[in-house]
Amino acid sequence: MAELPNDIVSLVEHWQRVMPDREAVRCGDQSWTWAQFADRIRRNAAGQLAAGLRPGDRVAYLDKNNPACLETTLACALVGTANAVVNFRLAAGEISYIINDAQAQVVFVGTEFLPLLAKIRDELPTVRQVIVVGGEQDEYEDWLAAHEPLADAAKFPDDQCFLQLYTSGTTGFPKGAMLTNRGLTAHAIATARMTEVGPDSVAMVAMPLFHVGGSAWCLVAMFNGARAVVVREINPVALLDELVEQRVSHAFLVPAVFGFLVQVPDVAERDYSHIRALLYGASPMPLPLLRRSMAAFDVDFFQVYGMTEASGAVTFLGAEDHRDLANEHRMTSAGKAVDGVELAIVDPVSGEHVGPDEPGEVWVRTAQLMAGYWHRPEADAAAFAPDGWLRSGDVGHLDADGYLYIADRIKDMIISGGENIYPAEIERVLAEYPDVADVAVIGVPSEKWGEVGKAMVVPVPGKEIDVDALLAYCREHLAGFKCPASVTIVSELPRNATGKVLKRQLREPFWAGRERAV
C-alpha cells in the first residue's frame, strides 16, 4: 500500500510527488492530474495573498459543486485562511448573513448565482473582491493564470481552521464550524480504515460541498490517493450513468438520493461490480428503502452517523451488519464508534454517564472535533463539555455490544433529504407574520424525504390565517427546502411549567408505531 501524506495540508504535494500524471479530480468532461491540480491550488494560494488576505481571514464560495471550491479550500490550508462554503440553496438574506458573519473579503461565485449576489452586494461591507467561476463570464481561470504558483507555504498549527461549514442552531442563526487540519486528517484516516479507500479507488463526490458529506468526504478520497469524481448536481439517471462509466468504487449519498435512484426503471440492470462501498448517512434510512437499495445495487452498504462539528462520521455500521439476519435489529442502529472516537451516553440533567441500554445525550470525544464555532464563545460553552467531550444534542443509547441507537434530537432539528432544518429558524420567521400569535415547527414523517417540517400555528384572537399566504411569506424569507410542508391551525400549544413548548407531545401522533422518533 502506498505511503500516505502526513496530513490534509500536505496531501496534494504528496500525491503530486508519488503519482504526478495520475488523474486526481474529474468533473463532467474536465479532469486534472495531481500535478495540474497542485499547480492550480498553489496559484489560488498566491492569488489570495496578492488580494491582501492574511492568516485567519475568510473567503466565501457560492456555487454548485465545482473542483474550484476544493482548490480554494486546499489553497486556504496553505496560506492560513479559511473557505466558508455557502449553501447555494439559501435565500438571499441568509446568504448575506453567512458572508457577513464570516467577514469574507473575497467571494468566489458561480455564474448562475451572480444575479443573487448582485441583490445583496451592497449588504456585504467586508467583501473587497468578487471572482466569477465558470460559464461565459468566468474570471477564475484568468485569475489563476495571473499568479505564479506559491513556492513555499508557511507551516500553521494543526488546529488552524481552513474549512468553515455553517450549521444552524437553536437560536435560528447559522454558526460557522471551524474544521481543522488535525480534525480532517483524523477523519480521513479513520474513514479509510472503514471503507478501504486507497490509490486504486474512485470516489464519487455527489453531496454538495457546503455539506460535510461533500467536502470532508472528498478530502477523505484525496488524502488516500483516490480519484475524485465530482458531481455538480444530482440527476438520478446521470448519476447512475456516471457510477458505471467512471467505474466508481466508493460513494456517499443521503437516503433521499437513494430514494430517487431506486425509482429509475433500469436501476437494477446496470453493472455495479466495480462498487466496493455505498455509504449513506446524514439522516436515517427507512428500512424499506434500505432493502430496496440493497437489492437494486447488490453491493456492500455502510451507514455512517456524524456531524459537521466532528468533521464527518463518528460511527460506522459495516456491510456484515447489513447482512446479519440473526441480528437484523442492528440495521436500525448507527453502528459502532470509528477508530479514534469515544462515545458516551450522558444524562442531560445530572451530567452522569449512564450504562448500556439507558437513554441519554450522545457525547463524542475525538481528534476529529472542530476548533469551535467562529466568533461564538457562548455556543462553544454550550457545545463542549469538560475533558474534551462534544455534546451532540442527540438522544440515544449504546447497547452492550457498543452499537449506538439514535432515538431523538434534543435540539429538535429536522433532517429532510439530508438537509439540516432548524425549527427555531422557521419559527423566528413565522412569528413575524401579522396574524400569528404563537408557532411551533416539528418534523413529521415523509416517505420521500424521511421527514418534513409542519408548522403548528396559533392565530391572533379574532384573526384567521390564510395558510397559502403564510407559506408564501415563509418562502420570501427562507430557502424553499426549509419552509414547512404543511400548516395546522391550533387554539394553543402545549407547554410545561416553565413555558417551553412540549414538541415531543406535538410529534407523538405523527410518529406513533414507528421504530424511530426522528
How many Å apart are CA 216 and CA 439, to the nearest integer?
Answer: 36
| Per-residue model confidence (pLDDT) at position 496 | 59
Share of the chain above pLDDT 90, in %: 79
Question: pLDDT higher for 406 or 371?
Answer: 371
Cβ(73)–Cβ(45) below 8 Å: no
Average pLDDT over residues 434-453: 91
**Does the pLDDT of residue 2 top 60, yes or no?**
yes
Average pLDDT over residues 413-437: 85
Can you give the length of the chain in residues?
A: 518
CB atoms near residue 279 (< 10 Å): 22
Q: What does the pLDDT look like over 494-518, one tens digit per residue? A: 875 445 688 888 988 998 877 554 4
Q: What does the pLDDT look like over 450-461, one tens digit per residue? A: 899 999 999 988
| Per-residue model confidence (pLDDT) at position 6 | 94
pLDDT band at 427 (very low <50, low <70, confident <90, very high): confident
Q: What does the pLDDT look like over 297-315, one tens digit per residue? A: 999 999 999 999 999 999 9
How many Å apart are CA 251 and CA 207, to the nearest integer?
Answer: 10
Q: What does the pLDDT look like over 376-402, one tens digit per residue? A: 999 999 999 999 999 999 888 999 999
With cell 440492470, the residue in question is: 269
| Per-residue model confidence (pLDDT) at position 515 | 56
With cell 449588504, the residue in question is: 123
Cβ(228)–Cβ(203) below 8 Å: yes
pLDDT band at 324 (very low <50, low <70, confident <90, very high): very high
| Per-residue model confidence (pLDDT) at position 253 | 95
| Backbone CA torsion sign across 55, 60, 65, 69 | negative
R_g of the chain, CA atoms, integer Å:
23
How many Å apart are CA 51 and CA 117, to the nearest integer?
Answer: 20
